[in-house]
């Protein structure tokens, strides 16, 4: 079972205080990693890091504007200065500036800056570091919404509104960006994979919840413990021959 351990691996996780990220911090840190969490709101991350450190785990918070190349490169350099290497990257952070299909184009552009350009910048900067060491794993946190169109009927009779298009665009692109970098980095023994989660429970209105649950084989939404295992597997040596994969973690939603 040692192949599933992240003991002493240096892992960078973007985000870490949000719906997906908080559970990932706990799981990755508990697996033994030296974890660096990074986002624009470093104060929130410092609180998360303090909670995990109090449990005897290694978590540090860093500042990052994911859509700004200078910020990405500065983070890379600080991590290398502190730890000397990077063994894994989890592209988890996401910005949601676009709130509806009719949002201003500036909201779309900001979404692309962070969620498309930013993921590219992080993958290239940290991937090149791993390639020089001939070892590493990148895990992109996508969404099943990058695989399918929106089920608008789920939202009828709620105050949730219709989902905006930017999320579908950049999460769909993330899947093929994963394949691209799996090909490019594979010759240097760096693996790149994508996880596509389904919906997370976040106290959505009852009409949405009952409809959504009926669309899954497991008849529930995800919670903050459901992503940790798959991410740890893909970061670990247990997945040493797994690359270019998009793994749905959606309770069977996209298979039904």
Give the pair of three-digit tokens for residue 160.
């949730």
- Domain boundaries in the chain? 2-255
Residue 45 to residue 14: CA distance in whole angstroms: 10
pLDDT tens, 67-84? Answer: 999 999 999 999 999 999
pLDDT in tens, the chain (256 residues): 899 999 999 999 999 998 889 999 999 999 999 999 999 999 999 999 999 999 999 999 999 999 999 999 999 999 999 999 999 999 999 999 999 999 999 999 999 999 999 999 999 999 999 999 999 999 999 999 999 999 999 999 999 999 999 999 999 999 999 999 999 999 999 999 999 999 999 999 999 999 999 999 999 999 999 999 999 999 999 999 999 999 999 999 999 9
227: β partners: none
Burial class (CB in 10 A: 0-12, 13-18, 19+), 43: exposed
- DSSP 8-state symbol, 218: S
222: β partners: 200
Residue located via tokens 């999320």: 167
Q: How would CATH label the architecture of 2-255?
A: 3-Layer(aba) Sandwich (3.40)
The total of other beta-carbon atoms located within 10 Å of residue 233's CB is 17
pLDDT tens, 13-57? Answer: 999 998 889 999 999 999 999 999 999 999 999 999 999 999 999
């Amino acid at each position: 079972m040692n192949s599933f351990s992240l003991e002493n691996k240096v892992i960078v996780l973007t985000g870490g205080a949000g719906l997906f990220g908080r559970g990932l911090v706990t799981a990755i840190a508990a697996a033994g990693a030296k974890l660096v969490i990074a986002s624009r709101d470093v104060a929130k991350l410092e609180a998360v890091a303090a909670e995990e450190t109090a449990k005897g785990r290694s978590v540090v918070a860093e500042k990052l504007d994911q859509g700004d190349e200078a910020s990405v490169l500065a983070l890379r350099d600080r991590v290398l200065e502190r730890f000397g290497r990077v063994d894994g990257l989890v592209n988890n952070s996401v910005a949601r500036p676009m709130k509806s299909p009719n949002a201003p184009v500036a909201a779309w552009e900001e979404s692309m800056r962070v969620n498309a350009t930013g993921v590219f910048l992080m993958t290239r900067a940290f991937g090149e570091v791993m390639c020089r060491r001939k070892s590493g794993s990148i895990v992109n946190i996508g969404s099943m919404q990058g695989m399918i169109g929106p089920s608008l009927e789920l939202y009828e009779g709620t105050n949730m509104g219709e989902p905006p298009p930017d999320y579908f665009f950049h999460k769909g692109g993330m899947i093929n960006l994963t394949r691209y970098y799996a090909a490019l980095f594979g010759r240097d023994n760096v693996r790149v994979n994508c996880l596509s989660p389904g919906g997370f429970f976040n106290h959505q209105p009852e009409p949405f919840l009952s409809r959504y649950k009926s669309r899954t084989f497991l008849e529930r939404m995800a919670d903050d413990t459901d992503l940790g295992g798959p991410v740890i597997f893909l970061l670990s040596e247990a997945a040493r021959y797994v690359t270019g994969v998009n793994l749905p973690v959606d309770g069977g939603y996209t298979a039904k």
